[in-house]
Chain A
Amino acid sequence: MLTIATGNKAVAAAVKEVRPDVIAAYPITPQTEIVEQIAEYVTSGELDSRYIPVESEHSAMAACIGASITGARTFTATSSHGLLYMHEMVNWAAGARLPIVMANVNRAIGPGWNVWAEHTDAFQERDTGWLQVYVSTVQEAYDTTLMAFRIAEHEDVILPVMVNLDGFLLSHSMQSLDTLNAGDFVPPLHLPHAIDVLNPAGYGTLTGPDEHFRFRWEIEKSMRRSRKVIAETERDFAERFGRSYGVAEEYRYEDADVVVIAMGTLGKEAEVAVDLLRNEGVNAGSLRIRWLRPFPDFDLSGREVVVIDRDYSFGFGGVIAQSLMARQRVDLYSVIAGLGGQEVTYDDIAGFVRDRRPGTELWFGVNGDV
């Protein structure tokens, strides 16, 4: 059904379509609309989920874990400090091999209090074993949330998935949305190790130095298998519903000499910069990375790359820039822009490309050399 909706409402609508059994969530700006919309769906009877208005984010993830291990489909949503507050349990969820789906509305971390878009929050969870994907349009938020459940619950994966959307820029922006009858696109959940009183087992028991690493390897194996599952899920989605996204969205990329790499809404606005640059005779292209975990590999050889990180790892560098450099030899200009919702326009992005100095790092808005 064709309508218009905000990113938050799109996520809530997708959640309604997959009908989780249990939803436990705690409000935090700018995620609140997701939680409120779900509360309305449940109150009106449109969504037959058990909704738990927990008292904190740590409890939200703990409640999802408790529900998920019974074999129930679960969902939660958070942002920034909420995500960080549940950090311990986020780790737990992946280690416990639970296909929880969580929407994270990317927001900066304080102090000072800042409610605007930044990716550092979700990047703090990049080592946890969660799959992570970043969306840039309302439609993509809806579609990807649907796909997230199927990927998480796939027998070759059984790992939680985090769907990220930029705070305010996407969460609160209204764009067109085509909601779907997912049908059997997301099949019923079958959790192999669900609690079964007829087959009692201990869960997460004391595990010594000679065994623990084996469990960690199992997580990594599933993470590697998930690449195929992601590709297959997106292919099936494209066949059924006519839209496809991929691990990264390419725009005028094939013959591009210089490529702009960014995530989220900046990755989408970069396309406008690319058009501007092309008009000036610059062979520019863009690559909007969607899946952060598992981290995709592209062949950037022979191209100049401008990476925009809406995040930072202090004492190290922009996470995307550093991740790319760790995987391959690449001539890279690292731009740190958009922190705390800093305004970055397509003109600014075109400027980064025009003024690029490969091998250096620019902190946008800070005057002078850094």
Chain B
Amino acid sequence: MTEIPKEEFILKCTSACAGCPSTLILRYVLKAAGSDTVLVVPACCTSVIQGIYPNTAVNVPLYNVAFAAAAACASGMSEAFQKAGKKTNVIVYAGDGGTVDIGIQALSGAFERETDFLYICYDNEAYGNTGMQRSGSTPIGARTTTTPGGKVHAKKDLDAIVAAHNPSYLATACAAYPQDLFKKVQKALTLRGSKFIHVLAPCPPGWRFSSEMTVEMGKLAVRSGLWILYESEFGKVTINGPSKAAMIKPVPIEDYLSVQGRFKGIDRKAIDALKSQAEQRAKHLQKEAEGIC
């Protein structure tokens, strides 16, 4: 059992929605990172969650920056700290919008330059902060306010894009598995170079489920195989326990989709697309884990 430090870095005045997965994620990220940390936060739910002036609910320095700029801003910060001989952790904490859409240019540049930082994308699969419009990370078939009939395009494979930059460390995580997340953040921060953690953040108002079901939803995502927990250290892939189990005996995808209002009315074609996408990724990861690829 991992020893999770007791110190809290998320204080009482957050403006999070009830059941917010991101607040849960950030709690564990900061427990793993400790106080010698700066968070770089582009426009996203955390811009609001952190609290409203004159309060801040986050007990490490938090630098807010424009939507497209997080990874570039972090680049500058990382270089400056290194020049000054400081070991301060620079962690980008961004939503999927600011990572996979408007933020992808800066992300790609920062990783190509092997910037020494950790980029954490908490993914609620839409633009949460502005009211749940679709993002490139929205899965096929999901209803958002700009895809009222369900998204017709597939979820962008962010992990493959980041992997193509050969990062030191790449991992997926999920708000429902905080110990796993904690260990991954700790591991990442021991390594030099660009590190990336993609965390699934089941969002009650966005995905339309009751706010006490956040953790349950995260578990369903993993158990159904739609979200695979794995890590890749310098390209060496390890699939984590809960996903290994899901690959042997997955929970039907329909069980995951049917409890979310955003998938109401999803058609067979989209469900099959989701299934086949998940199956292909699982196959590919298994091959990578076995060293075939």
Contact = CB atoms under 8 A, between A and B. Distances in A.
Is there direct touching of A and B in the complex, by C-beta distance under 8 Å?
A: yes
Interface of A: 26-29, 32, 35-36, 39-40, 43, 53, 55-57, 81, 85, 110-113
B146 A56 contact: no
A26 B129 CA distance: 13
26 contacts: A26-B102, A27-B131, A29-B129, A32-B130, A32-B145, A35-B133, A36-B131, A36-B145, A36-B146, A39-B147, A39-B148, A40-B148, A43-B147, A43-B148, A43-B149, A53-B134, A53-B146, A53-B147, A56-B68, A56-B101, A57-B102, A81-B67, A85-B67, A85-B68, A85-B102, A112-B64
Contacts of A85: 66-68, 102
Pick from A36, A55, A113 the residue with the most CB of B within 10 Å: A55
Nearest to B101: A55
A35 B64 contact: no
Contacts of B129: 29
B137 to A, nearest CB: 11
A85 B103 CA distance: 12
Nearest to A82: B67
Nearest to B133: A27
A111 B104 CA distance: 22
A26 B103 CA distance: 13
B130 A27 contact: yes
A81 to B, nearest CB: 6
A85 B66 CA distance: 9
B169 interface: no
A110 B67 CA distance: 11
Given A27-B127, A32-B130, A36-B133, A55 B104 contact: yes
Nearest to A59: B102
A81 B102 CA distance: 12
Contacts of A112: 53, 64
Nearest to B147: A39
A110 B47 CA distance: 12
A27 B67 contact: no
Contacts of A27: 127, 130-131, 133, 146
B74 interface: no
Contacts of A43: 147-149
Given A81-B66, A85-B68, A56 B102 contact: yes
B220 interface: no
A111 B64 contact: yes
A265 B149 CA distance: 35
A152 to B, nearest CB: 25
A149 to B, nearest CB: 23
Contact of B130 (A29, A40, A56): A29
Given A27-B131, A28-B130, 6 more contacts: A27-B130, A36-B145, A43-B147, A57-B102, A85-B67, A112-B53
B43 interface: yes
Interface in B208-260: none
A319 B47 CA distance: 30
Contacts of B101: 55-56
